[in-house]
Amino acid sequence: MTLENAQNQVDEWIKTFGVRYFGELTNLAILTEEVGELARIMARTYGDQSFKKSDLKAELADEMADVLWVLICLANQTGVNLTDAFEKNMQKKTARDSERHLQNTKL
């Protein structure tokens, strides 16, 4: 699946089952919530926190997919083509950081 396919699939789902997109600010709040849920799983799986009973059913991949879903919703709502945006971002990072990390003694 490509990013374009994902954007189209989310848009079709919203139009078929979701009635309409939530407002952009609502989706931004939801994105923040979903990132928090991802952070909770990461902190408990790879960090020092222990799991609560309520966290045991959460799955890392599902939380990442939730973040991606809402990000795709925001891209669709604001007219962002994620394929183009990602390609441009990769070019920017490559131009800016092509030597930076290789020369970082901390890595």
Q: Counting runs of H as helices and runs of E as strands, what totals does the chain give?
A: 4, 0
Instruction: Name the residue with tokens 């954007």.
Output: 7
pLDDT the model gives residue 55:
79
Instruction: Name the residue with tokens 């971002």.
Output: 89
Each of the 107 residues of the chain gets a pLDDT tens digit; together they read 999 999 999 999 999 999 999 999 999 999 999 999 999 999 999 999 998 888 788 899 999 999 999 999 999 999 999 999 999 999 999 999 988 888 889 98
Residue type, 43: A
The token pair that represents 13 in the structure block: 């789902």
Residue type, 35: V
The answer to whether 72 and 81 have CB atoms below 8 angstroms apart is: no
Instruction: Name the residue with tokens 């966290």.
Output: 55
Say which CATH architecture domain 3-97 belongs to.
Orthogonal Bundle (1.10)
CA gap 58, 82 in Å, rounded: 27
CA gap 83, 92 in Å, rounded: 14
Q: Residue 14: CA atoms inside 13 Å, Cβ hemisphere, count?
A: 17
The model carries a pTM of 0.90
C-alpha angle 72-76-79 in degrees, rounded to nearest 5: 130
Domain boundaries, the chain: 3-97
